[in-house]
Amino acid sequence: MRRSSQLNSTRGSGCGVSRPFQVAGCSVATGENAEKVVPEFEGLEDFGGDVLHSGDYKSGERYRGKRVLVVGCGNSGMEVSLDLCNHDARPSMVVRSYVHVLPRDILEMSTFKIGVTMMKWMPVWLVDKSLLLLTRLLLGNTDKYGLKRPEIGPLELKNTTGKTPVLDVGTFSKIKSGKIKIIPGIVKFGPGKVELVDGRVLEIDSVLLATGYRSNVPSWLKDNDLEEIRKEKNPFPKGWKGEAGLYAVGFTRKGLSGASLDAMSVAHDIANSWKEETKQQIKTVAARHRRCISHF
């Protein structure tokens, strides 16, 4: 897809035939998670064992009794590790950076729902402190088990970076019991093994890459810098409204609520643009009528 100053040129296909066409506006809503992220690790091609992205993971049954390295400690990595543990596998989870782990529910209420409700009356920093206090009471000190928290609170971190806190569904208890091992970053792989940044070498049977997803927009949206469109420092319409009728919905890294706000803003902007265009057309038609009448 390419943009001009007036129109968006794109190419569609139907019945096996591809043809270009032009539109006055285009809303990109393909999301941030269109493609799997598969990092390059030294020696992974020589590993020799099973390597799978978490997006293709179905069940831990096939890993029963195996030593599995889970790369990534987000929600996917945590849940995959728990499922592996429940199927009698032996998972080790790579944790390279800081991570917020929160209970999924507090007093039988969604933790996020509690946070959003509290933000109606409290600033984000105070909501974060309250959630972390409740988390400490329910889960204990996660730092002791290799899950160190960032200095910035979970909701503020989500708002500023888009990084979602981990909602614990039972994984943390397995970590505390030692059934799920926490290990540091990877240096390189070898045949049936992995070398870690602390010098240890682990023998493993399989690798699961819980390394997330990314947008595939740059691969088909030409002559455009999507990062400029979605910059948070440029609020709508300058932020996720591009030039020549190009809009971006769901790229603010704020989940479904952020996508909903984007969609409403885009809809309002399109409606306003349509009203202005209609007004101009009415004025043009009226002017033509006046000219015709004057001739008679």
What is residue 217's DSSP assignment?
A: G
Q: What confidence tier does 237 reach under pLDDT thresholds 50, 70, 90?
A: very low
Amino acid letter, residue 218: P
More confident residue, 247 or 243: 247
Q: Is 293 inside a domain boundary?
A: no
Q: Is 258 inside a domain boundary?
A: yes
Q: Is 46 inside a domain boundary?
A: yes
Residue 39 shares a structural domain with residue 28: no
Q: Is 92 inside a domain boundary?
A: yes
Residue among 243, 276, 242, 228 nearest 6 (CA)? 243
pLDDT digits (tens, 9 = 90+) for 141-150: 999 999 999 9
- Listed residues 196, 214, 232: the one ending a domain: 214
Q: Is 28 inside a domain boundary?
A: yes
Q: What's the 3-state SS for 245-292?
A: CEEECCCCCCHHHHHHHHHHHHHHHHHHHHHHHHHHHHHHHHHHHHHH
Give the mean pLDDT of 12-25: 62
- Listed residues 214, 231, 258: the one ending a domain: 214
Q: What confidence tier does 243 reach under pLDDT thresholds 50, 70, 90?
A: low
pLDDT at 181: 95
Q: What confidence tier does 212 reach under pLDDT thresholds 50, 70, 90?
A: confident
Residue 138 shares a structural domain with residue 249: no
- Low-confidence winner among 45-49, 102-106, 165-169, 267-271 (lowest mean pLDDT): 267-271
Decide if pLDDT at 55 tops 50.
yes
Residue 105 shares a structural domain with residue 244: no
pLDDT digits (tens, 9 = 90+) for 256-292: 666 777 788 888 887 777 666 666 655 565 555 555 5
Residue 98 shares a structural domain with residue 180: yes
Mean pLDDT over all residues of the chain?
Answer: 79
Residue 148 shares a structural domain with residue 10: no
Q: Is 230 inside a domain boundary?
A: yes
- Low-confidence winner among 16-25, 90-99, 227-236, 251-260 (lowest mean pLDDT): 227-236
3-class secondary-structure state, position 227: helix
Give the mean pLDDT of 47-55: 91
Residue 97 shares a structural domain with residue 209: yes
Residue 247 shares a structural domain with residue 153: no
Residue 126 shares a structural domain with residue 164: yes
Most confident of 11-25, 189-203, 243-257, 282-296: 189-203
Range of the domain at 196: 35-214
pLDDT at 288: 56
pLDDT at 129: 94
Q: Is 99 inside a domain boundary?
A: yes
| CATH code (residue 192) | 3.50.50.60
Residue 42 shares a structural domain with residue 181: yes
Distance of CA 73 to the CA centre of its chain: 14
CB atoms within 10 A of CB 23: 12
Q: What confidence tier does 223 reach under pLDDT thresholds 50, 70, 90?
A: low
Q: Which residue has the tokens 């909501």?
A: 127
Residue 233 shares a structural domain with residue 265: yes
Most confident of 103-112, 181-190, 236-245: 181-190
Q: What confidence tier does 193 reach under pLDDT thresholds 50, 70, 90?
A: very high
Per the structure, the count of domains in the chain is 2
Q: Is 296 inside a domain boundary?
A: no
Give the mean pLDDT of 62-77: 94
Residue 56 shares a structural domain with residue 186: yes
Residue 205 shares a structural domain with residue 223: no
3-class secondary-structure state, position 41: coil
